[in-house]
């Protein structure tokens, strides 16, 4: 977020309330399939903040050039390039280097609603936990757990899977239909669906159809049992470069006789951002207890300058004080090849807990972030119990 400085200059655009660009906006992303995905943001303190439920997600910075406004998302290598026309902003969501497909976007100053309330009362309350099955090409694809919370006609939701969660979704209920969206600078999320009084829900999510059934006992596989070491392996090691090009190995003296947490992720990954937002302050509070953390980042490009900038921005955004290393290209097969001790690799992020002797005690697949409520609190409780247990063990690592 702070990898480079932006010179920010605001002027009074009009007397109609667009003073210095500060204030609330309603944006609309126009997708190639014709869908229009609404989102909300505000500009204050020389930055833009994207609002999804309880979250205000900060952009990496913004700048004004003549009659144009640029909002940067360093972590996704994206930007909103917008022309200022009174209270209207029009432009594109695009890659900073101009590659790939650009998405048309408009935004209106002063609008605070997300989906327009047409006055149609909800036909029911869909608050609850759901078994969710997503489909692609008519075949079962992936099972998830849906969490819905309805307040009047307002709706908040997230979907949990073995790879993480869909973060904060926000929307509205009209009759027996609902609409949800989310946007933090990467591709937008857009969910629509219908429900009945028997707990059945059908819908689409970014073009994928899904079915859901209300079930208080809906659950996913145990995240501690999905990834494990292959037979014949008890330890986990690597030799990878840090942000300055110096190789780091878990056999280095800095890790001797310490409990070590290894997290495998990428700076582009929203669930990895949630994990870093937890891990960085946790480490600062606990680093003197005899433990260490190593973040292994797999990136979307192999270019050295790109990787350095991405990792530096990530470090600064979350205040990371622990070691970060570069693992390679962000591809699950590439991760599996880089770490042959693992039986598989299912998710960015994945967390390994390593005891003082260098043995892997547990592996946690995915991340249940703050949008999941009680699931997130349970993760924190389990995480601390695991660390306390490993720190209490008396044996020392060989070497």
* 239-392 homologous superfamily: Glutaredoxin (3.40.30.10)
Which CATH architecture group holds 128-214?
Answer: Beta Barrel (2.40)
Domain limits of the chain?
23-109, 128-214, 239-392
Please write the tens of the pLDDT for every residue from 162-218: 999 999 999 999 999 999 999 999 999 999 999 999 999 999 999 899 999 999 999
Sheet of strand 291-299, all strands in order from the earlier edge strand to the far edge: 323-329, 291-299, 259-265, 350-354, 360-365
- State the CB neighbour count (10 A cutoff) for residue 399: 10
**Separation of alpha carbons 133 and 346, rounded Å:** 18
Instruction: Give, in order, the Cα–Cα distances in Å from 63 to each of 107, 211, 318.
Output: 17, 43, 22
Tokens representing residue 328 in the block: 């390679």
Give the whole-angstrom CA distance, residue 23 versus residue 100: 31
**pLDDT at site 135:** 83
Determine the Cα angle at 222 with ends 219 and 224, to 5°.
Answer: 155
Tracing tokens 């903040």 back to the chain, one arrives at: 49
* Average of per-residue pLDDT values in the chain: 92
Q: Report the predicted TM-score, pTM, of the whole model to 2 decimal places.
A: 0.91
CATH architecture type of domain 23-109? Beta Barrel (2.40)
Distance of alpha carbon 184 from alpha carbon 90, whole angstroms: 18
pLDDT at 358 over 90: yes
Following DSSP, what letter does each residue of 37-84 receive, concatenated? EEEEEEEETTEEEEEETTEEEEPSEEEEETTEEEEEEGGGTEEEEEEE
Structure tokens at 108: 């209106």
CA end-to-end span of the chain: 39
pLDDT score recorded for residue 17:
38
What is the β-pairing status of strands 291-299 and 323-329?
parallel
Q: Do domains 23-109 and 128-214 have the same CATH topology?
A: yes
Question: CA-CA distance, 211 to 130, in Å (whole number)?
Answer: 9
């Amino acid at each position: 977020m702070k990898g480079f400085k932006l010179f920010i200059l605001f002027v009074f655009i009009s007397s109609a309330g667009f003073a210095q660009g500060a204030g609330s906006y309603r944006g609309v992303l126009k997708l190639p399939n014709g869908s229009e995905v609404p989102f909300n943001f505000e500009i204050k303190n020389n930055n833009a903040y994207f609002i999804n439920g309880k979250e205000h997600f900060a952009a990496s910075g913004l700048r004004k050039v003549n009659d144009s406004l640029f909002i940067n998302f360093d972590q996704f290598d994206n930007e909103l390039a917008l022309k200022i026309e009174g209270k209207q902003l029009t432009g594109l969501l695009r890659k900073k280097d101009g590659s790939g497909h650009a998405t048309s976007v408009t935004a209106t100053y002063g609008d605070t609603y997300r989906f327009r309330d047409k006055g149609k009362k909800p036909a029911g309350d869909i608050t609850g936990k759901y078994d969710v099955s997503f489909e692609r090409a008519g075949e079962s694809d992936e099972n998830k757990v849906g969490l819905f919370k309805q307040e009047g006609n307002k709706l908040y939701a997230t979907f949990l899977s073995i790879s993480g969660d869909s973060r904060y979704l926000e929307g509205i209920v009209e009759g027996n239909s609902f609409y949800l969206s989310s946007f933090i600078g990467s591709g937008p999320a857009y969910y629509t669906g219908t429900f009945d009084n028997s707990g059945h829900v059908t819908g689409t999510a970014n073009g994928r159809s899904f079915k859901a059934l209300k079930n208080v006992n809906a659950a996913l596989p145990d995240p501690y049992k999905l990834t494990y070491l292959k037979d014949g392996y008890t330890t986990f090691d690597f030799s990878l470069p840090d942000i300055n090009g110096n190789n780091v190995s878990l056999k280095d003296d800095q890790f001797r006789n310490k409990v070590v947490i290894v997290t495998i992720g990428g700076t582009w990954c929203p669930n990895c951002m949630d994990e870093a937002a937890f891990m960085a302050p946790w480490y600062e509070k606990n680093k003197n207890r005899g433990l260490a953390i190593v973040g292994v980042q797999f990136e979307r490009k192999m270019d050295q300058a790109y990787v350095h900038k991405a990792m530096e921005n990530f470090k600064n955004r979350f205040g990371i004080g622990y070691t970060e290393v570069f693992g390679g290209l962000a591809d699950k097969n590439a991760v599996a090849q880089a770490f042959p001790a693992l039986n598989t690799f299912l998710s960015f992020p994945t967390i390994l807990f390593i005891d003082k002797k260098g043995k892997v005690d547990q592996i946690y697949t995915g991340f249940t972030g703050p949008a999941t409520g009680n699931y997130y609190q349970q993760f924190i409780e389990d995480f601390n119990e695991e660390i306390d247990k490993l720190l209490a063990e008396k044996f020392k690592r060989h070497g």
